[in-house]
Amino acid sequence: MTLLRLIETTPGQYSLLLDAGTTPVDSVIAELGHEPNGYFWAGVAEVLVSSEAPTLEGRFAYDPEAGMFCAYGTDRGALQELEALMKVVATGGERMRRLVNDAEARGFEFDD
């Protein structure tokens, strides 16, 4: 199963999608007191962009819902970079634990 999917929705428009509740780290997210929904994953993306890839800031937008994370825009390369960053977190329990703990220590609040 593919965790993240980058699709072209219309010519020149791209969406990066993740079905919430289907990742190997869902139990870690729950242990950390969060719900692995689309809103939580949007928070993960925001933290990754702000702390690890600030050059991605403003190059796409988010449109999460309960069952799905979605980032979209016309910059396919930026979405591919976000996909690579998110894949590491979505498959690594310790990486997810570190990201959430560091973000919360800095005052970030996940909207889940």
Q: What is the pLDDT of residue 60?
A: 98
Backbone angles phi, psi at 71, to 5 degrees: -120, 140
Domain boundaries, position 100? 4-105
Residue 1 has pLDDT above 60, yes or no: no
C-alpha distances in angstroms, 52 versus 1, 72, 82, 86? Answer: 26, 19, 10, 11
Q: Is residue 111 part of a domain?
A: no
Give the burial string for 32-43 (b: 16+ CB within 10 Å, else e).
bebebbbbbbbb
CATH code of 85's domain: 3.30.1370
Residue 64 lies in a domain: yes
Q: List the structure tokens of 97.
A: 């634990």
Residue 112 is assigned to a structural domain of this protein: no
pLDDT by residue (tens digit) across 51-104? 999 999 999 999 999 999 999 999 999 999 999 999 999 999 999 999 999 999
Q: Looking at the domain assignment, is residue 16 inside a domain? A: yes
Q: Which pTM was predicted?
A: 0.95
Share of the chain above pLDDT 90, in %: 96
Residue 44 lies in a domain: yes
Number of domains the chain is built from? 1
